[in-house]
A and B are shown apart, each in its own frame.
Chain A
Amino acid sequence: MVVTVRQGPGGALVVGGSDIARAVRDALRAAGTVVGEAASGGGLAADAEAAGIAADGVELVVYAPYTPGSALPRAVVDMSAQEWDRLAEQPVRDGLAALQAAHPLLKAAAERRGEARFVLVAPSVAIEGGAGVVPLATAAESLRALAKSAARRWARDGVAVHLLAPTVFALDAEAEALRGSDVDRSEAALGAEAMSPEAVAEVVLLLCGPGARYLTGGTFPLDGGALMVP
């Protein structure tokens, strides 16, 4: 699929090792954005500096993590406390660190440019639920609530928060293990291509445009028209 070139933000940080994070980085660069990469959210200021982005130049932070193993189906009753912590709790701690590290950068950019954005990517399966992915869904819904709280707090700083909920199959190839399971039950009205990582990246660019100026805290399911709620 060819990504349409749009005018992106001046500087952006993309956090995470998911397929979506890689597609977002490519799309932003194609749109002329200086993009910094980060494996985790804790040291975003240093990541921006390493990418040559000015201290007040981070206009966008995209947080698109994937915890290895989280899309491999497993039953709660068979899970150890350590596994639960790694798959359900640590992702929320990491997300909190990303939000806390992103806020001063985005606030500084908003003071200069008038607006800045944080985009959280969390799988849509958490919204509907799925057998075998309880820790993944628990972490995702916790992060969505945390991001909504940030949206309420950061609006006064000119920082918007958007939540993208793509199908889990766009997050990582590992999710193919869920094909044919309870998670793989909704038919996408627009077909599989509408759920690719590149399609998610297109929406990130859309949310960087002026048309998104009055949006914050909303969740956009990117599942090719499978869920269709609310």
Chain B
Amino acid sequence: MTGQPESLVPEASLAGRTVLVTGAAAGVGRGIAVALAQAGARVVVTARRKEAGAEVVAEIAAAGGTADAAVCDVTDPEQVEAALAYAADRFGRLDAVVHNATSRRSSEPVDLEHAPVELWDEHAAVASVASFTIARAAHPYLKATEGAYLLLTSPAGMQGSANLSFYAAAKGAQRGFVKSLAREWGPDRIRVNGLAPLAVTPALDNAMRLDPSMEGRITDLIPMGWIGDTVTDIGPCAAFLCAPASRYVTGQTLVVSGGRMTAL
């Protein structure tokens, strides 16, 4: 979309709060991290390599925001615990965790009938297993702040996918996890929600460069007529679900797709 504003998040809606984002070095994770900072949050940008997260931290700082980077391979429970502890220690509290990281092989087509179980395990390790690992480790921090746990899912998890069947199953697992954990953690006043975005990621951007007709084919299916921008279209919705403004919203999946999916 052309002519879009730099920021669409309500200023200061997350002022004084700390949010940790996994897989935040690029794509949707980066967009969410930048938007959270625009909303006033102190953001802990995590990635498997610290230098990758440092680029996003520099981008946030250059825009006047507050952020720090931490190493976190979400498949390693010790790294998860260390990153959460670092975030709480660095900024004095932890109010929300956004689990955005996804398998590096998410966008690879899968031959469902013959794909090895080891490939499925790679998807699950970053999705459902990591969601569990993060939940268990983050619970005391989020209980202390009556915070939020936000998981990135996808319309594929609700509708299935002929070519990305393992991605769909991983994202379906995230939805089942969100709804049940939301009910489990309600008495602790911790909200658990899902966000299902349709956005321009680096992978999609590359694909559209290689196939110039692809963007038109995709936008033809989107009532709003454009593919979401990670900072200005997806990020503000993530900020809302992390902020007190959504304190009565839990167990939900917010589909942010310009109307592409309306069946939920």
Question: Which residues in A have some Cβ–Cβ distance to B below 8 Å?
Answer: 75-77, 79, 81, 84-85, 88-89, 92-93, 96-97, 99-100, 103-104, 125-153, 182, 217, 230
Contact = CB atoms under 8 A, between A and B. Distances in A.
B183 A129 contact: yes
B161 A149 contact: yes
B29 interface: no
Contact of A97 (B117, B135, B136, B177): B117
Contacts of A134: 132, 177, 180-181, 184
A150 B171 CA distance: 15
B129 A139 contact: no
B254 interface: no
Given A89-B124, A149-B169, A141 B183 contact: no
Interface stretch (B96-104, B152-160, B196-204, B212-220): B152-160
Given A99-B112, A146-B169, A141 B176 contact: yes
Contacts of B168: 145-146, 148-149
A142 B169 contact: yes
Interface of B: 77, 112-114, 117, 120-121, 124, 128-129, 131-133, 135-136, 139, 156-162, 164-165, 168-173, 175-184, 186, 251, 263
- Choose among A88, A103, A139, A149 the residue with the greatest number of B CB atoms under 10 Å from its CB: A149
Contacts of A149: 112, 160-162, 164-165, 168-169
Contacts of A131: 180, 183-184, 186
B158 A76 contact: no
Contact of A79 (B117, B136, B158, B186): B136
